[in-house]
Structure 1
Amino acid sequence: MPGIRGVNHVTLVCSDLDRSFAWYRDILGAQPQARWAAGAYLELGALWLCLEAGLPDARADDTHLALDCDASCFADLAARIKAASVLWKENRSEGASLYFLDPDGHKLELHVGDLRTRLAAYESRDDVEFFPPPVSGRETAS
């Protein structure tokens, strides 16, 4: 039975978005994909990383681990989770999502979609800066 396929993305709340954006980009080599006043999307290899401006607070911020889910089983899995877990946030973004707590209070999200579908949902926003894909060292200008 298809279900959770792995980590979808990680969201980290950052007290200084500019500092964190630069650190993930310059120190870890994350590739910026989009940025707006309150957040940014970057890629670290296969990891989609969301940085969100705010004051880190384990009980109140949006820091969480999102699990990738096959769309065909989202409804069934979401129903099982709702019956056994506490929900901590309503979905307000692109894609089907369910935000819930595990038994120890860790914040999790069940999500259908990926960084490409999320970026496509942001294309009509005037307040988002998009970054070009990196140029490979093997490519030559014509």
Structure 2
Amino acid sequence: MMMGDWFFWAVLSACFAALTAIFAKIGVNGIDSDFATLIRTILIACILAPFIWLTGKWSNPLVLPVRSLSFLGLSAMATGASWVCYFRALQLGEASKVAPIDKFSLVLVALFACFFLGERLSLREWAGIALVATGVLVLAIKR
């Protein structure tokens, strides 16, 4: 597996996402979940800004295409809404139950990618998505 391989980065993303759930569950203990989301967002910006600048990746955002800025804005709003809901769920529930249900987004991404982006999944990929959906349902059903 090469460092430029998308799969490598996707696995790292999954690992960091798992740590996010654990750290967030501990972090929201005793504070408002919305405030915790704000603190997390500020910290992310404080970490990412110097990283972008130090690696020479900074460019003037005002010269970016309007379409790109618009969709990045929509993505930011969706991310913010997701984080607010996720932190609230973590504050109210167990991380081992909240995080897998949050991953129902995998099923929605597949559906949205087909509908909005014209992506086509194979039968094998649809079977995997169906398994994920089934797993979420198993976790969501009360015992």
Query: Is the TM value for this pair above 0.5?
Result: no
With normalisation by structure 1, the TM-score equals 0.28
More helix by share: 2
Greater fraction strand: 1
| Bigger radius of gyration among the two | 2
